[in-house]
Structure 1
C-alpha cells in the first residue's frame, strides 16, 4: 500500500501544475472579458385588457377569453417584430444590431414580459419603452378588442446581463486548477506504473536463478572407430 502513495515531490508538482493552469485560464478569460463590451438588460411588463369600447356587460366574457392565452401570444409575437426594434434603436441612439428584444407571456395570464438588451443601461430602458409605445397600435389592432397597458415601465430596471465578471473569473480559475491537477495526477500515475509492474526478487529467493552447468567438463563414452565402422568385428 505504501508503494502506491505519492511522494511529496510528486504532490508538489501536481499542485503547481494545477495552479499554473488556473492562472493561465484566469489571464486569458480576464483579457477576453475586458475586451468585450458589457451588455445591460431592461425589463418591462404590459397587459392585455378589454378595450374601453367593449360594453360593460360583455367585459367578463372578454376576460375569460384572455385566459386562453391566444390573444397574449399574438401580442408577444407582434412586439418582437424587427421593425419595432429598429425604431427603438434609433430613439435610444444605438445600432439596431446591438439591440435584442424578447417578449413572453406569463403562464395563464394576459401579462407579457418584454426585455431589451444593449450596450448601455439608459439605452436599454429608453429603447424598450419606445418599442412598446410604437408597437401598441398594431398589437391592439391584431389581438381583437383589447388594449395594451403598461404594468411596469422599463425605467430604472436595467441590470448587467449574464454572469458577473467576478463570478466568471472564479469559476474559470477553479476549473483550470482542477483540470491541471487532474492531468498532472494522471501523468504521474502513468510514469509510476512501469516501475510498479516490474517483479521484485526476494533476497533469499535463489530458486529462480538457474544453476550453471559446465558442459565442457562432462565426457561421454568414446566409441571405438573400428567397431563403430564394422559392427561384425566386435
Structure 2
C-alpha cells in the first residue's frame, strides 16, 4: 500500500484556486477599465462636435402649364422615361446654388450640404439639406429649389417643377441625438470612478490573499521539513 499525503494535496490546491481567482479579477479589472476609458473618450468626442440638422423636401416634374392639351399625354410619357428627372437631379445638386442658399440661411457655405435623389419609376425628386441650425436647413433647401427652378424647367422640359412636400417643419437632428451624447458623457466618468473604486477593493483583497498563500506555502514547507527530519 502506498501512503498519500492528502494534507499536502489540499494545501497545494487551495493556493492554486486563489491564484486563478486573482488572475480572473485582474482580467475583469482591465476589461472594465478599457470600457470605461472608451466610454469617456466617446462622450468627449461626441460632445465636442457641432450639432447638425437635416431638412427634407420633395418636388415633382409635371408638364408645363402652357403645354397644349393634346400634347399632355406625350409630355407625361417623356417625363416617365426618367431622363428628365436625371437632368433635374443633376441641376439641383450643382455647387453654384450653395452660395445663395447659405446667404439666405445666414450660415457659412462650408456648413451646408445638399443632396437630391430621383425616385425610380416616378417624376418625384427627394431633396435633403444638412446645416448647423434647423431653420437654416429648411431655408437653404427652399433657396436651392427656387434658384434652380428656371434652369430645371428649361433643360428638362418643357416641364414645371412644383412642390409635393415643402421643407417647412421637416428639420430634425442629424446623426446621434444630443440626448444620447449627454447621457454618454455623463455615464463615462461615473463608470470610470466605479471601476477605480472596484480596482482598489480588489487590490486589497489580492494583497490579503497573497499573504494567505505565502503563509500556506510557509506552513507546507515547515511541515515537509518536520517530516524529513522525523524520517
TM-score normalized by the length of structure 2? 0.68
Task: Quote the RMSD (CA, aligned, Å).
Answer: 2.6
Give 1:115's match in structure 2, choosing from 128, 149, 166: 128
1:147 aligns with 2:156: no
Please name the residue that 1:64 is paired with. 77
Please name the residue that 1:52 is paired with. 65
Once the 2 structures are TM-superposed, how far is the Cα of residue 63 of structure 1 from its aligned partner? 1.1
Please name the residue that 2:51 is paired with. 38
Once the 2 structures are TM-superposed, how far is the Cα of residue 164 of structure 1 from its aligned partner? 3.0
Give 1:98's match in structure 2, choosing from 74, 90, 111: 111
- Describe the superposition over 1:111-169 as per-residue Cα deviations: whole angstroms up to 9, x where unpaired: 00011101000100111111111110111011121000001111110111123352895
Matches of 1:116 and 1:15, distance apart in 2:
46
Alignment of 1:218-233 (within 5 A): none
**Bigger CA radius of gyration:** 1
- Describe the superposition over 1:18-56 as per-residue Cα deviations: whole angstroms up to 9, x where unpaired: 111111111111111111101111000000000011111
Give 2:30's match in structure 1, choosing from 17, 31, 38: 17
More helix by share: 2
Once the 2 structures are TM-superposed, how far is the Cα of residue 64 of structure 1 from its aligned partner? 1.6
Please name the residue that 2:175 is paired with. 162
* Distance 1:58-1:97 versus aligned 2 partners, 3 A rule: same
SS of structure 1 residue aligned to 2:58: strand
Runs of 4 or more off by more than 6 Å in structure 1? none
- Describe the superposition over 1:206-229 as per-residue Cα deviations: whole angstroms up to 9, x where unpaired: xxxxxxxxxxxxxxxxxxxxxxxx
Matches of 2:89 and 2:132, distance apart in 1:
24
- Describe the superposition over 1:182-228 as per-residue Cα deviations: whole angstroms up to 9, x where unpaired: xxxxxxxxxxxxxxxxxxxxxxxxxxxxxxxxxxxxxxxxxxxxxxx
Matches of 1:8 and 1:155, distance apart in 2:
62
SS of structure 2 residue aligned to 1:37: coil
Matches of 1:122 and 1:10, distance apart in 2:
56
Please name the residue that 1:82 is paired with. 95
Unaligned runs of 5+ in 2: 1-15, 189-231
TM-score normalized by the length of structure 1? 0.67
